[in-house]
Structure 1
Amino acid sequence: MSLSLNPYLFFDGNTREAVHFYEKALGGKVMGIMTYGDVPADPDHPLTDDMKDRVMHAHLKVGEADLMFSDTYAGMPYLSGNSIQIAIHPKEEGMAREIFAALEDGGQVIIPLHKTDFSPLYGMVKDKFGVHFNLNVPGEQPQ
């Protein structure tokens, strides 16, 4: 069986900002952004001008991973928080430090980058959108 999974992050009207933030912070490439207004109109469910500008679906490619994004539909409850964490595994410590610093900008360090028994460099950060990231440089694996 072939199966792939990816995180799908929801925001409340600021998805476009988040996608471009992660594009820069993680060195990704935006594959596409589609708004609710980009799809054919449904006369039974007309969209407000605000809804037409909200992002229905966005795709960011980061290395070989895919991150998907969307704004909530107007009026849907939205709670920013730590219900999902994204683990990033850069092979080089320098890259880990750069990514951590970019995500930390406007956010909050939960666990500072440091050496652990399982990693030469590990840390956790909550970015300015409330999304939690674990950065873990893989250590030497016993043979």
Structure 2
Amino acid sequence: MKAFDPYLAFNGNCREAMEFYQKAFGGELKIMTYGEAPGGNQSGDEKDLVMHSQLVKDGITLMASDGMGDNKVTFGSSVSVSLQCSSKEEADTFFKGLNDGAKITMPLQDTFWGAYFGMLTDKFGIHWLLNYDKPAAQ
């Protein structure tokens, strides 16, 4: 397997969400609307919905799109996006970046399993787990 990338779905606010994630994580963001797609014949607001977007940073890709028509998204608690951070500082930075309007489930903290870990649900309803596995004591 070459990659395993999360693909998020939104109800008309995909662009806002992906720009928010770009601000939180950095990286290069590409967005294509339904109206920009070859053969795109949507009218009104549908032409401005996101058909596909991707945020790429350090070889990691987060993709997303808007549902359209009868394909509305139902948010639930069955999936979370887990970020394996490379340092405690990176976990702090990402957590702070996602924190605007979020519901914090568990603040970042040292855990009994040897990680620095926290959980939140962002203002778009996406569940995030941030983890930094601390080096084992010598």
TM-score with structure 1 setting the length? 0.87
Residue 59 of structure 2 aligns with an amino acid whose one-letter code is: E
Change over 3 Å in CA distance of 1:118–1:104 after alignment to 2? same
1:119 positional shift: 3.2
TM-score with structure 2 setting the length? 0.89
1:33 positional shift: 0.8
Q: Relative to structure 2, which stretch is displaced further, 105-114 or 84-93?
A: 84-93
Give the corresponding residue for 1:133.
128
Give the corresponding residue for 1:93.
88
1:62 and 2:61 matched: no
- Distance in structure 2 (CA, Å) of the matches to 1:33 and 1:122: 31
Q: Secondary structure at the match of 2:35?
A: helix
1:87 positional shift: 1.0
- Distance in structure 2 (CA, Å) of the matches to 1:119 and 1:81: 29
1:86 positional shift: 1.0
RMSD: 1.9
- Distance in structure 2 (CA, Å) of the matches to 1:91 and 1:4: 18
Give the corresponding residue for 1:78.
73
Spell out, residue by residue over 1:28-76, the C-alpha distance to the aligned partner (whole angstroms, 9 max, x if none). Answer: 221x21111112336xxx4222111000000101322111110001232
- Distance in structure 2 (CA, Å) of the matches to 1:61 and 1:95: 16
Q: Secondary structure at the match of 1:34?
A: strand
Structure of greater Rg: 1
Give the corresponding residue for 1:36.
34
- Distance in structure 2 (CA, Å) of the matches to 1:99 and 1:68: 17
Give the corresponding residue for 1:6.
5
- Distance in structure 2 (CA, Å) of the matches to 1:28 and 1:119: 29
Give the corresponding residue for 2:22.
23
In structure 2, runs of 5+ residues without a counterpart are none
Identity within the alignment, %: 38
Residue 26 of structure 1 aligns with an amino acid whose one-letter code is: F
Q: Secondary structure at the match of 2:32?
A: strand
In structure 1, runs of 5+ residues without a counterpart are none
Number of equivalent positions: 138
Residue 14 of structure 2 aligns with an amino acid whose one-letter code is: T
- Distance in structure 2 (CA, Å) of the matches to 1:90 and 1:17: 24
- Distance in structure 2 (CA, Å) of the matches to 1:5 and 1:94: 25
